Structure 1
Amino acid sequence: MRAVRFHGREDIRIDEVEEPICGNGQVKIRPAFVGICGSDIHEYLAGPLAVPVTPHAVTGEKLPTTLGHEFSGTIEEIGTGVTRLKVGDRVAVKPNLSDGTCKAGGLSDHVVVDTKHAIPLPDSIPLDIGALVEPLSVAWHAVSRSPLQEHDTVLVVGTGPIGLAIIQVLRAKGISNIIAVEVSEKRREFALNLGATEVLNPLKVDAVARVRSITGDAGGAAIAFECSGVQAGLDTAMKGLRVRGTTVVVSLWEHKPVIDAFAIVLDEKHVTGAAVFDDGDFEAVIDAIASGKIQPRSMITSKIPMEDITEKGFKALIGERDKHVKILVEISA
């Protein structure tokens, strides 16, 4: 079968690999759509230092490794002992796993997973939207990590895919005051369209002063989500908080940031991290999409065949970052 595999820095190839075998308690899935994640881009640019060269202690994987962890697909085979799922079921895959025996990764013609990681999609959710469940679940988890209250004013710094997903989750949870800070004009437009009530360009305005002006006597946002991964973004998130506010750091960082501990102490601010998701987050996101509380289709800015993944996928997301939010690889194309 075909598999998109990462061999090293800026070296992604479509290889022929052995098709995985569906074992006891497992299902074999034919992936339909696979999203390219920011972590994939990081690995592509950073090279082998970003991925274990020796076998990973949990997954058993080593270079070259199959990419793709944001995906949906259709079950094409079930293993012995499987009763909850059947052939033909459409699923989103919760990817925090590897059984160490299969070519783990959604960017391939077939994937085998334990049944607990195959989350059924209702008929109302098409498979391309199903591929967005994973990044939206990361956002759902990040919001759940905060002490969010119904009437809070929330600051989102950085409106890449996860920042935009967080805005949608906040709206789904009834938050009506969302301030977004973003340098890219196109991504500021996305933020407005997806539910931000105020969008600030930090290159043109003093974002912190503007947040404090908007929030009046509160003196800042109750919650801030840091999604930019740069020092200036973290500074904005921390300074834009009110006294005893909370910043949730969601970004992946290429360079270790500096944090002003003295300011945290004086204003009794809180800092927490959020990574991946908890049990139940996938199901909660699927319910929110099915009910219409989350409508993420505009996040899909391109669909490409597997053969174009380097030029129209990775290179497009790097060279045309402002143009794209989520590029989906259509495996059957």
Structure 2
Amino acid sequence: MKAVRCSNAQLEFVDLPTPIPASGQLLLEVLRCGICGSDLHARQHCDEVADVMAATGYDGFMRADQQVVFGHEICGEVLDHGPRTRKAPRTGTRVVSLPLLRRGAEVHAVGLSESAPGGYAEQMIVEQSLTLPVPNGLSVEAAALTEPMAVAWHAVRRGQVRKRDVAIVIGCGPIGLAVVCMLKARGVRTVIASDYSAGRRALATRCGADIVVDPAQDSPYAAAGGHGHLEKAPDALGLAVSTVEKLYRARLPWWHVWRAADAVGAATPNHPVVFECVGVPGVIDSIIAGAPLFSRVVVVGVCMGTDSIRPAMAINKEIDLRFVLGYTPMEFRDTLHMIADGKVDVSPLITGTVGLGGVANAFDALADPARHAKILIDPKSPQQEV
């Protein structure tokens, strides 16, 4: 079969043996596979990531000198079932799958491990138990975006964003755009998107952002003005004192009133939920410095290098900092059905398609933020340019 393999940061168009599914696994014909930012990072920085993963207990992440077939955002068609495997989904069924693969007692990340080749190929293997049929006649292009949209859905859920909250998305690359889509699917009324690229700001508008900001000209936090956010430490101190003073003058036991307000979540001042979707050193600290007091910051972007923050700044503003990774199987399944039911429109994210022979060109094209968001691979296509 034809495939694209990465070794020592070089992408090679190669012939490989057709993979053979084991018991409990399926062989798929790859219909579409998304090129993920993780693939771009892994090509250049896989050894750094592998060191971090090994420190957390997983030593199967790819190394630069290994030969790895990327691709974990896939939609495929069932070609065959492994031995002693229930014949479901049936041959010919279009499916998506969580990108995890068993090899004996170990579980590996599909497309990011030498032990689990991914979807930059004509065929690939997936776990039957993690495979879901594509519902409602959903297009293979939209279905292939289930995985990155599930990452965004997990981030939104981890952010505990309420409909009345202001959500601020910093960075409108593919994952930032996906977060915008999922915030609107959740019903969040005010979504602010910030990016230096005019093209990406336009895509954010198409994805449903209510306000788009060029951070070279305006502050995304200033765009959230009028929602009762506290900007400076004296504002919080003044609010606490004035609240007690008002209750004291009214001859009310302020501690009882405060405790009742706290029980229903009314004692904490309004604050935005900020999604960091850039993954570049310095961005987290800049968000901590610029965001209003009590902001919740959800870090979705993957920073490949060492970064630093000023803890005293975060402490004085009481910033809530959260990091996210992946999604749960339920979130993956729910995301697929949200797309299929029309609750999420992923079409603005898809900006190009190439065949396997055009993958290297697609990687180069994705370096230009003004041109592309998500490029899909169609293994049957002769297309080499995007």
Calculate the TM-score normalised by the size of structure 2.
0.79
Q: Which of 293, 296, 314 is the equivalent residue of 2:363? A: 314
- What are the Cα deviations for residues 232-287 of structure 1, in whole angstroms up to 9, with x where unaligned? 53244324544332101011113322222112222322101011111211111111
Aligned partner letter, 1:202: P
Q: Which residue of 2 aligns with 1:81?
A: 85
Using the TM superposition, name which of 40-49 and 155-164 deviates more: 40-49
> Which of 329, 343, 351 is residue 293 of structure 1 equivalent to?
343
Residues 107-118 of structure 1: matches in 2 within 5 Å? Answer: 107-118=120-131
CA distance in 2, matches of 1:237, 1:140: 21
User: Where does residue 145 of structure 1 map in the other structure?
Assistant: 158
Choose from 204, 208, 222 the match for 1:191. 204
1:31 alignment partner in structure 2 = 30
Structure with higher strand content:
1
Alpha-carbon distance, 1:118 to partner? 1.6
TM-score by length of 1: 0.90
Query: Partner residue of 2:258?
Result: none
Q: CA offsets, 1:312-333, max 9 Å, x none?
A: x111111x32110000010122
Equivalent runs, 1:201-280 vs 2, <5 Å: 201-211=214-224, 213-217=225-229, 219=231, 221-280=271-330
Aligned to 2:74: 71
Aligned to 2:8: 8
Bigger mean CA offset, 80-89 vs 279-288: 80-89
Distance 2:48 2:160 in 1: 36
Q: Bigger CA drift: 101-110 or 73-82?
A: 101-110
SS at match of 1:302: strand
Tell me how far apart the structure 2 counterparts of residues 148 and 236 of structure 1 sit (CA, whole Å). 21
1:178 to 191, 194, 198: 191
- State the Cα distance separating 1:198 from its structure 2 match: 0.7
**8 Å CA contact retained: 1:92, 1:118:** yes
- RMSD in angstroms over aligned alpha carbons? 2.4
Counterpart Cα distance in 1 of 2:164 and 2:306: 33
User: For the Cα contact (< 8 Å) 2:146–2:336, is it kept in 1?
Assistant: yes
Corresponding residue of 2:20: 21
Cα deviation, 1:190-238, whole Å, max 9, x if unaligned, reads 1111111111111112333333x24345557421100012345324432
Give the alignment of 1:125-144 within 5 angstroms. Answer: 125-144=138-157
SS in 2 for 1:111: strand
What are the ranges of 5 or more consecutive residues in structure 1 without an aligned counterpart? none
Whether 2:181 is the aligned partner of 1:168: answer: yes
Confirm or deny: 8 A CA contact 1:119 1:282 kept in the other structure. no
1:329 lines up with 2:377 in the alignment? yes
Give the aligned partner of residue 57 of structure 1: 59
* SS at structure 2 position matched to 1:244: coil
Structure 1 segments of 4 or more deviating over 6 A?
59-62
Residue segments in structure 2 that go unaligned for 5+ positions in a row: 105-113, 232-269, 382-386
